[in-house]
Amino acid sequence: MKAQSGALGYQTLFLEVYGLKFRVSRMSTLSSKMFATAKQYIPGGVNSPVRAFKNVGGEPFFIRRAKGSRITDIDGKTYIDYIGSWGPNILGHAPVSVTNTIHQVAKDGISFGIPNPHEVTMAKTICEWVPSVEKVRMTSSGTEATMSAIRLARGFTKRDYIVKFDGCYHGHSDSLLVAAGSGALTHGEPDSAGVPKAFAEKTIVLPYNDPESLTKLFEEKGEQIAAIIVESYPANAGLVFPQPGYLNLLSSITKKFGALLIFDEVMTGFRLGKAGVQGLENLTPDISCFGKVIGGGLPVGAFGGRADVMDMLAPIGPVYQAGTLSGNPLAMAAGLTQLQELSSGRPDGFARLDQLGAHFEKGLRALMEKKGIPHRINRVGSMFCLYFTDREIRNVDDVMKQDMELFKKFFWASLERGVYIAPSPYETGFISLAHNEDDIDETMEVFGEALASI
C-alpha cells in the first residue's frame, strides 16, 4: 500500500492498494472505497453472499493481513477475530508451521494433475482418525463433497429421493439448496432462483429435531429414499444441538429402510476432536463429508465412508466424480501440518480449544446475566453462538425468532471497539489455538461496552 498527501494536505490522501488507486478523505475509509470499486466488477461486491453484511446493514471491511487471533483491515484497524475464515484457521491466522509447509511444498510445484504423496497421507490420516471412513475421495470444496456424496448415495441405492433438514446448509449445489440456512438465509432468500423445480422435488425437507415428521415420512416413502443428509451439529443457523436420541433415530431409521446416512462434518470435522461429532456421539454414518480444517486455510473438501459404498465411484464404479485440483499438494500438506499440530502435545489441541471455549462461554454468560438480557448461548468445544432470546433453540424457526435488531446493534458496537463476530445471527463463531485467556477477557470488556452503548 502506498500513501501520498494530496493538494488539500492532511485532509485528503491518495492511496494505491494492490494496483487500485483511491482518493480518500478523513470522512471516508479505504474499505468503503474498495467496496465501491468491487461492486463495479463483482456481483454485490463480494464472492460469497454473507460477506456483504446484508443481515446487519452497512458495508463490509477489507482485510490486509492477519496473524494469530487478530486481523487488520486496509485502513489499519486491528480486530480480535472469531471467524477464522469461517472455521478452517483452527491454529489461528498464518501459523508458522503451516506457512512454512506451504512455502516448502510450493517450491516443488503447486499442482500436478497427477497423484502426489500428500493426498495419500491425508487419506490415510482421515481413515485412521474417523472409524466410519474406510475410503475417502478428495475434492476442492465442501460443496463438492456434499454434492458428490448425494450422487454416490443415489447411485449406490438406485433411489432418487434425499432428505435434508430446514436450517441445515450443505453448500450450493442444486439438490441441496432447498430451504437452506447460512448464506441463503443471510441473503434473504431461503430458496435460490435457477434451481429447477424437478431437482427440488427430489429433495424432501423436514423440520430439524422433529422425530414424528421423520418417522411418518419413512413410513410413507422409506423405500424410495436414498439418503438422509444432516449437519451432525447444525452450524449454519447459529449452532443447534440435536435433542437426546435424535441422531440415533436417523441412524436406525436409515438402516431399517435401506437408505444411507450422510453426516456433513465440513464444520465440525477435525474441530471437535479427531472423529468429529460422530466420535462424540459414538455413531457410524455411511458417508461423511469434510472440509475447512483439513486444508489449513486452502480450498479443500473430502467425502468418505464404507468401502463398498465408496467403491461405486469411478474409475472402479459407475458413479462419476472428478476434480482438476482435488488433492492438490499445497492444500494436502498444509492440512496435514495443521492436523499434526492439533493432535500433538499434552493435552492435545482439542482439549485446549475446549478449555478456551469454556472460558469464553463463562465470561459471556456472566455478562449477559449481569445485564439482564434474554439470551441463549450454545457452545461445543471451540464453536459458539449467542442468541438474543430466552427461547429454547431446537431448529431454525426458533433461531429466526430472536431479537434481530439487537443483534445488529451489538455486532456494530463490538466491531467499532475491535471485536469481529459473524455479520449474521445465522452463523457460528470459532475460537482458535492462537486465542488466549487475555484475548477472551478483552473481548468480554468490549462486549460489555457494546451492550452499554446500545
C-alpha–C-alpha distance, residues 164 and 203, integer Å: 7
Of 33, 164, 274, 292, the active-site residue reads 292
50-94+347-453 and 96-343 share one fold: no
169 contacts 180 by C-beta, under 8 angstroms:
yes
Higher-pLDDT residue of 156, 7: 156
Question: What's the whole-number mean pLDDT along residues 303-326?
Answer: 97
Q: What is the mean pLDDT of residues 304-311?
A: 98
Q: What is the mean pLDDT of residues 341-363?
A: 94
pLDDT exceeds 60 at position 25: no
73 is catalytic: no
pLDDT surpasses 50 at 376: yes
Query: Does the annotation count 264 as an active-site position?
Result: yes
* DSSP β-ladder status, 225-231 and 260-264: parallel
**Residue 393 pLDDT > 60:** yes
Give pLDDT, residue 20: 65
Q: Give 174's pLDDT tier (boundaries 50, 70, 90).
A: confident
pLDDT of residue 163: 96
pLDDT at 12 over 50: no
Q: What is the pLDDT of residues 94-112, one digit of tens each?
A: 999 999 999 999 999 999 9
**Where residue 173 falls among pLDDT bands split at 50, 70, 90?**
confident
Q: Considering 79, 82, 169, 233, which one is annotated as catalytic?
A: 169
**What is the arithmetic mean of pLDDT over 1-20?**
47
The one-character DSSP state at 11 is: E
Q: Between helices 437-453 and 349-371, what is the axis angle to 10°?
A: 20
Looking at CATH, the fold of the domain delimited by 50-94+347-453 is given as Aspartate Aminotransferase, domain 1 (3.90.1150)
Average pLDDT of 427-443?
98
Mean pLDDT over each residue of the chain, to the nearest integer? 91
Q: Which of 81, 166, 264, 286 is catalytic?
A: 264
Question: Cell match 422433529: residue?
Answer: 210
Give the span between the Cα atoms of 432 and 438, in whole angstroms: 13
227: which strand partners? 162, 260
Cα torsion through 302, 308, 311, 316, rounded to 10: 180
Where residue 28 falls among pLDDT bands split at 50, 70, 90?
Answer: low
Per-residue pLDDT at 23 exceeds 90: no
Q: What is the pLDDT of residues 204-255, one digit of tens each?
A: 999 999 999 999 999 999 999 999 999 999 999 899 999 999 999 999 999 9
Mean pLDDT over 402-408 rounds to 96
What string of DSSP letters covers 77-119?
-EEEES-TTTTT-TT-BS-HHHHHHHHHHHTT-S--SS--HHH
- How far, in Å, CA of 303 to CA of 288, rounded? 6
The answer as to CATH 3.40.640.10 being correct for domain 96-343 is yes
Q: Give the Cα separation of 44 and 102 in Å (integer).
A: 32
> 194: pLDDT confidence band, cut at 50, 70 and 90?
confident
Q: Model confidence over 180-189: pLDDT tens digits?
A: 444 444 433 3
CA gap 175, 151 in Å, rounded: 10
Whether 77 is catalytic is no
Q: What does the pLDDT read at residue 185?
A: 41
| 199 pLDDT more than 90 | no
Domain boundaries, the chain: 50-94+347-453, 96-343
Q: How far apart are CA 377 and CA 391, in angstroms?
A: 11
User: For a pLDDT cut of 90, what percent of the chain falls above it?
Assistant: 84
pLDDT at res. 341: 95
